């Protein structure tokens, strides 16, 4: 498991779907075990010295370069933090990562894998709370979220998906050298679960850690890394010392070879005379009680042994045949009945049939494989603002909510003449404390929205046709691999470093009519509201499919002018403001000081540098939405 996997935040995917196709439990349980033996293969756990591994002999059927690609495209693993992904106490996926624990093994060509699961048992630096915090290794408990879910999968004999990343040293091939950071191994079930003491860098020098034996589910063919043509065998020659690499003999074992029905099938369980609980015979050195709450836990005749080896019977793979195993390759989406292609399913990633790569949806107009550039396009229809009129945010206010302790003063709504036959509307002003600035919300009206309706239509048409290149750009975050924004964007005018920089910028004279229309409308409404012209020279168009959002940030671009203004189109959205972290208070405040509901045709104006300096904001749309945000960015 990954050393940074923590049990307490196993999933930071905001909206986790129920996975539609639940696994079937095995058709037969006790009747099955044609138990097997790996007589000639004693222990093929990975060598302790760092050994050069060959690249993959075949492209994996499902692989990815970033964790985000896995989480966005593969329903069996949607956890960004933890190595265990479970839903309602059922483990869907388990990631084999770096830092293996003692006695973790990859046995019989990967048909039996022993790993430690559940997090918390290693000391780590936790970066999630802003400043890094040292977290000391602790005992794992059977009630810890991930351990509990793994134990339930064990008792239910419920298959789960094993994945490995490039840091998993026991996999016999070098994933990194093959360009695959993550691979899906296949479906496994847990045949044994037990607790051990393991050395740890905490005060006691050790922790209780749960171990799990994962067995390959028969009924899904052979593991893909073992099924390649004999011509490929050359690739397994050890380039350093010559000869075959030590694990290669296990790779070629077929099921017939590993199954030896003449051998007894059951791993014996022995009842502890102290706690009366049963534990299996795991080690060749003898039986030990493996109940961590028993006083006899982990002691063999009153002694703790340093060197332990697995008992041969314990290592026999169990050929449990499953029926109705699910297809792990994600299915391609087809055109839905309502032709709406901005729903959540369309924001997710996809699996390339040609090369097996999982890719995030990073282009608005279609899915594209990040490896072989295959394309999948689903035609859809344009949406109108009317489709979102029924939306009723489940809050007690209509437009805004001011936090009690915020010091923000909300002015009475004022009437506002839009000119050019647009009629009247209202605008709301919020005065920030200590003269930090003002936030204005100019409301759209059915009459005034004719312009906004047309801009909304053009945006969609031009984005679908690729005239407006809406893309998801990498966030400037220190995380492993790339991490794309949770919305699509395109920038016009001056480059905007916050999203994509010059790579995401077209000059105004090349900007499509939707962008120019949005800029003209924002300029006009800002002039009327502030009684002056604002020389906006940059406009970021952001498009959100269902469940996408823009996380907390402040517009702190170098040279940014004091006025930032945006036009909202399509679905309504919540915009929350909160105080930014300061040097005195390095952790941002979790409570929102102001919430606004932005609706189709509304123009929001943030006036004053203090709005960005002292506050940050997030935008959470209720459904498909487009926003255009204009700024002045000094170029000197």
Ligand X SMILES: O=C(O)CCC(=O)C(=O)O
Binding site for ligand X (CB under 6 A): 540, 542, 550, 555, 566, 617, 619, 627, 629
Query: Which residue, 319 or 529, has its beta carbon nearer to ligand X?
Result: 529
617 is in an annotated binding site: yes
Query: Which residue, 86 or 548, has its beta carbon nearer to ligand X?
Result: 548
Structure tokens, 63: 């692989």
Decide if 123 contacts 201 (C-beta within 8 A).
Answer: yes
Minimum CB–partner distance for residue 619 and ligand X (Å): 4
Minimum CB–partner distance for residue 553 and ligand X (Å): 6
- What sections of 4-160 are H helices per DSSP? 67-73, 145-156
Instruction: Say if strands 424-431 and 488-493 run parallel, antiparallel, or are unpaired.
Output: unpaired
Rg (C-alpha) for the chain, rounded Å, is 29
553 is in an annotated binding site: yes
CB crowding 182-191: b at 16 or more within 10 Å, else e: bbbbbbbbbb
Query: Which residue, 218 or 555, has its beta carbon nearer to ligand X?
Result: 555
Decide if 521 contacts 603 (C-beta within 8 A).
Answer: yes
Minimum CB–partner distance for residue 366 and ligand X (Å): 23
* CA 168 – CA 200 distance, rounded (Å): 20
Q: What are the DSSP calls for 198-256, one per residue?
A: EE-SSTTSEEEEEEEEEEE-BTS-S-GGG---GGGGGGGB-TTT-SB-TTHHHHT--HH
The angle formed by the CA atoms of residues 582, 587 and 591, to the nearest 5 degrees, is 100
Q: At what angle do helices 449-464 and 513-530 cross, to 10 degrees?
A: 150
Query: Which residue, 209 or 438, has its beta carbon nearer to ligand X?
Result: 438
Helix (H, G, I), strand (E, B) or coil at 359: strand
Minimal CB distance to ligand X: which residue? 627
Minimum CB–partner distance for residue 624 and ligand X (Å): 12
Phi, psi of 490 (to 5 degrees): -145, 140
Minimum CB–partner distance for residue 434 and ligand X (Å): 22
Query: Which residue, 298 or 488, has its beta carbon nearer to ligand X?
Result: 488
* CA 497 – CA 512 distance, rounded (Å): 21
Query: Which residue, 247 or 574, has its beta carbon nearer to ligand X?
Result: 574
> From the CB of residue 549, how many other CB atoms can be counted at a distance below 10 Å?
18
Which regions of 97-203 does DSSP assign to beta strands (E)?
Answer: 105-107, 112-116, 124-126, 133-135, 160-165, 182-199
Query: Which residue, 425 or 548, has its beta carbon nearer to ligand X?
Result: 548
Minimum CB–partner distance for residue 430 and ligand X (Å): 16
Minimum CB–partner distance for residue 522 and ligand X (Å): 11
Which regions of 367-437 does DSSP assign to beta strands (E)?
Answer: 367-368, 375-376, 400-402, 409-410, 414-417, 424-431
615 is in an annotated binding site: no
Decide if 425 contacts 449 (C-beta within 8 A).
Answer: no
Query: Which residue, 243 or 501, has its beta carbon nearer to ligand X?
Result: 501
Phi, psi of 592 (to 5 degrees): -80, 135
Query: Which residue, 83 or 601, has its beta carbon nearer to ligand X?
Result: 601
Query: Which residue, 542 or 594, has its beta carbon nearer to ligand X?
Result: 542
Minimum CB–partner distance for residue 436 and ligand X (Å): 17
Minimum CB–partner distance for residue 628 and ligand X (Å): 8
The region, left, alpha or beta by phi > 0 then psi within -120 to 50, assigned to residue 435 is left
Minimum CB–partner distance for residue 19 and ligand X (Å): 30
Phi, psi of 621 (to 5 degrees): -70, 155
Residues annotated within the binding site for 2-oxoglutarate are 544, 553, 617
Residues annotated within the binding site are 544, 553, 617
């Amino acid at each position: 498991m990954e050393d940074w996997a923590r049990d307490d935040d196993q999933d930071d995917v905001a909206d986790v779907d129920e996975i539609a196709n639940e696994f079937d439990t095995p058709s037969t349980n006790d009747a099955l075990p044609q138990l097997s033996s790996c007589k000639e293969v004693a222990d093929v756990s990975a060598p302790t010295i760092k050994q050069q591994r060959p690249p993959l002999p075949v492209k994996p059927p499902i692989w990815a370069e970033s964790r985000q690609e896995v989480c966005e495209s593969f329903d069996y693993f949607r956890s960004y933090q933890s190595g265990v992904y479970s839903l309602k106490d059922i483990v869907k996926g388990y990631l084999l990562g770096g830092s293996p624990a003692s006695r973790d093994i990859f046995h019989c060509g990967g048909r039996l894998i022993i790993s430690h699961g559940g997090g918390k048992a290693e000391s780590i630096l936790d970066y999630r709370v802003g400043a890094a915090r040292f977290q000391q290794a602790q005992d794992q408990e059977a009630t810890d979220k991930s351990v509990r879910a793994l134990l339930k999968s064990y008792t239910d004999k419920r298959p789960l998906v094993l994945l490995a990343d490039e840091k998993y040293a026991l996999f016999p091939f070098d994933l990194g050298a093959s360009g695959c950071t993550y691979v899906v191994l296949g479906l496994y079930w847990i045949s044994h679960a037990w607790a051990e003491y393991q050395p740890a860098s905490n005060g006691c020098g050790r922790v209780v850690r749960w171990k799990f034996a994962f067995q390959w589910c028969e009924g899904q063919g052979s593991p893909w890394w073992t099924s390649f043509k004999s011509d490929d065998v050359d690739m397994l020659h050890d380039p350093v010392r010559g000869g075959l690499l030590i694990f290669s003999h296990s790779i070629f074992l077929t099921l017939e070879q590993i199954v030896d029905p003449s051998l007894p099938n059951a791993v014996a369980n022995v009842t502890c005379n102290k706690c009366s609980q049963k534990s299996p015979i795991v080690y060749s050195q003898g039986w030990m009680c493996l109940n961590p709450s028993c006083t006899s836990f982990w002691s063999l005749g009153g002694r703790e042994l340093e060197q332990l080896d697995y008992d041969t019977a314990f290592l026999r793979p169990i050929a449990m045949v499953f029926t109705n195993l699910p297809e792990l390759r994600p299915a391609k989406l087809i055109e839905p009945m309502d032709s709406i292609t901005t729903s959540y399913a369309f924001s997710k990633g996809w699996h390339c049939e040609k090369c097996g790569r999982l890719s995030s949806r990073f282009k608005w107009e279609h899915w594209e494989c990040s490896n072989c550039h295959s394309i999948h396009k689903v035609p859809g229809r344009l949406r109108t603002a009317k489709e979102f009129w029924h939306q009723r945010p489940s809050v007690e206010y209509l437009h805004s909510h001011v936090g009690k302790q915020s010091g923000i003063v909300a002015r009475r709504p004022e009437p506002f003449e839009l000119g050019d036959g647009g009629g009247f509307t209202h605008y709301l002003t919020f005065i920030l404390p200590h003269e930090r600035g003002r936030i204005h919300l100019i409301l759209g009206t059915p009459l005034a929205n004719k312009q906004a309706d047309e801009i909304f239509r053009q945006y969609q048409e031009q984005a679908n046709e690729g005239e407006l290149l809406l893309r998801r750009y990498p966030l400037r975050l220190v995380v492993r691999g790339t991490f794309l924004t949770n919305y699509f964007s395109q920038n016009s005018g001056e480059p905007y470093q916050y999203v994509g920089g010059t790579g995401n910028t077209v000059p105004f004279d090349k900007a499509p009519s939707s962008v120019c229309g949005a800029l003209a409308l924002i300029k006009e409404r800002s002039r009327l509201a502030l009684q002056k012209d604002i020389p906006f020279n940059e406009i970021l168009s952001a498009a959100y499919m269902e469940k996408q959002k823009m996380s907390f940030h402040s517009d702190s671009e170098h040279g940014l002018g004091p006025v930032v203004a945006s036009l909202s189109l399509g679905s309504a959205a919540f915009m929350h403001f909160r105080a930014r972290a300061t040097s005195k208070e390095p952790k941002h405040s979790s409570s929102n000081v102001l919430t606004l509901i932005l609706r189709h045709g509304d123009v929001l104006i943030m006036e004053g540098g203090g709005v960005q300096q002292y506050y940050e904001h997030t935008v959470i749309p209720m459904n498909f939405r487009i926003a255009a945000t204009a700024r002045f960015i000094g170029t000197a």
